């Protein structure tokens, strides 16, 4: 759909999904379970789907899916092997949110391989939503997580190369957050995201991924959304919350992602030079996505099949 057409439809032709007016607890989705994940990491969907197929719940599925990517040393954006900050420290951000509106997150977490599971523990075992830095690490150790060096040979080599001229890295050059949204057999929604963040960032920098409402948001009556890309800009528009609120107003998942991005475009005089990608899932199981520039890959699992989609940027 052309952007102009999209705005016409947005203004004059809102199609409000019937579940918003009906009993919102009842999902009309016949294709459950459903998963949508940023980028192309099919193993993560496979594991999450296996769990959902065995009548596992959505929050367990997204945690399990994210853990697969966190444990992969070859992936230089998430978990072990993530590209470090300017000081050579791997610092990780992650969040989870479930169908009852519970959420947990960790930011600036070091030396713990599974930030998504620490975020889950914050949600399940504490009165808090977010733990950061040393506090998050101490909490993780107290819960049985092990201290581990997360800087692999590969990411250390890349960092030492970067140190030679400290080229300003655009986040588009270097990072890919894994954000996963799922709907289980009960129709319940949950989401998680996990990232090593912006490569060679300032020590202490935290992105959107652990900020509930920015990198991730779930409202079990309406839908869920998650982000990847330049976290600073996602935070400025409360991106994932905005996408869910736009679905509440009647926009489809894709339209909601596009409309949220149109704010970013406007805020940057029509020409932002960075990437943001959103994924969204509506309570009826419809999924959608949009990105600002270039293109963006995402995986959808439905009817026990996983398919890769590519969406083109709104302003290429
Ligand atoms: N959104 C993440 C951050 O800014 C990284 C990414 O998705 O590329 O930390």
Per-residue pLDDT tens digits for 26-55: 446 777 899 999 999 999 999 999 999 999
Evaluate if residue 12 carries a pLDDT over 70.
no
Residue 4 belongs to some domain of the structure: no
The Cα 110–Cα 115 span in angstroms is 9
Select which of 177, 194, 195, 306 is catalytic.
177
Evaluate if residue 101 carries a pLDDT over 90.
yes
What spacing in Å lies between the alpha carbon of 24 and ligand 1's midpoint?
32
Residue 37 belongs to some domain of the structure: yes
The Cα 109–Cα 147 span in angstroms is 11
Q: Which long-range contacts (CB under 8 A, 24 or more apart) does 23-26 make?
A: 24/221, 24/222, 24/283, 25/221, 26/187
Residue 2 belongs to some domain of the structure: no
Helix (H) or strand (E) holding 260: helix 253-267
Q: What is the pLDDT of residue 27?
A: 47
Per-residue pLDDT tens digits for 134-148: 999 999 999 999 999
Q: Between residues 16 and 167, which one has the greater pLDDT?
A: 167
Residue 6 belongs to some domain of the structure: no
| Average pLDDT of span 124-133 | 98
Q: For residue 138, is the peptide bond before it cis, meaning its omega torsion is within 30 degrees of 0?
A: no
Residue 23 belongs to some domain of the structure: no
Evaluate if residue 14 carries a pLDDT over 60.
no
| Average pLDDT of span 15-29 | 46
Query: Do 251 and 266 touch, CB atoms closer than 8 A?
Result: no
State the CATH number of the domain containing residue 189. Answer: 3.60.20.30
Residue 126 is a catalytic residue: no
Domain total of the chain: 1
- Residue 298 has phi, psi (to 5 degrees) of -150, 155
Residue with tokens 């914050």: 122
Q: Is 201 in the pocket of ligand 1 (CB under 6 A)?
A: no
Instruction: Return mean pLDDT, the chain.
Output: 91
Q: Is 210 in the pocket of ligand 1 (CB under 6 A)?
A: no
Q: What is the pLDDT of residue 174?
A: 62
Residue with tokens 């997360």: 150
Query: Could you tell me the pLDDT band of residue 308, with boundaries at 50, 70 and 90?
Result: very high
Atom 4 in ligand 1: residue holding the nearest Cα: 231
Residue 104: which residues within 8 A CB-CB, separation 6 or more?
A: 95, 96, 119, 120, 121, 122, 123, 124, 126, 128, 129, 130
Q: What is the pLDDT of residue 170?
A: 64
């Amino acid at each position: 759909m052309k952007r102009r057409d999209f705005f016409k439809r947005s203004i004059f032709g809102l199609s409000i999904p019937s579940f918003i007016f009906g009993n919102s607890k009842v999902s009309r989705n016949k294709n459950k379970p459903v998963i949508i994940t940023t980028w192309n990491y099919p193993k993560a969907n496979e594991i999450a789907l296996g769990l959902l197929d065995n009548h596992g719940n959505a929050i367990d599925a997204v945690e399990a899916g994210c853990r697969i990517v966190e444990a992969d040393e070859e992936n230089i954006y998430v978990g072990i092997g993530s590209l470090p900050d300017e000081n050579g420290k791997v610092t990780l951000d992650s969040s989870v949110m479930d169908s009852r509106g519970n959420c947990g997150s960790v930011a600036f977490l070091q030396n713990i391989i599974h930030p998504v599971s620490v975020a889950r523990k914050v949600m399940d075992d504490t009165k808090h939503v977010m733990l950061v830095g040393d506090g998050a690490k101490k909490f993780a150790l107290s819960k049985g997580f092990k201290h581990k060096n997360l800087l692999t040979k590969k990411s250390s080599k890349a960092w030492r190369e970067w140190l030679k001229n400290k080229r300003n890295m655009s986040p588009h050059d270097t990072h890919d957050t894994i954000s996963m949204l799922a709907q289980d057999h009960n129709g319940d929604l949950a989401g998680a995201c996990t990232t090593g963040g912006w490569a060679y960032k300032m020590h202490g920098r935290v992105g959107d991924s652990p900020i509930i409402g920015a990198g991730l948001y779930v409202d079990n009556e309406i839908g869920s959304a998650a982000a990847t890309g330049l976290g600073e800009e996602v935070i400025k528009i409360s991106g994932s919350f905005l996408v869910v609120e736009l679905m509440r107003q009647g926009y489809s998942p894709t339209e909601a992602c596009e409309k949220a991005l149109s704010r970013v475009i406007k805020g940057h005089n029509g020409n932002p030079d960075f990437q943001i990608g959103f994924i969204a899932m509506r309570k009826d199981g419809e999924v959608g996505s949009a990105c600002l520039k270039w293109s963006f890959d995402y995986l959808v699992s439905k009817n026990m099949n996983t398919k890769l989609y590519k969406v083109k940027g709104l302003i290429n």
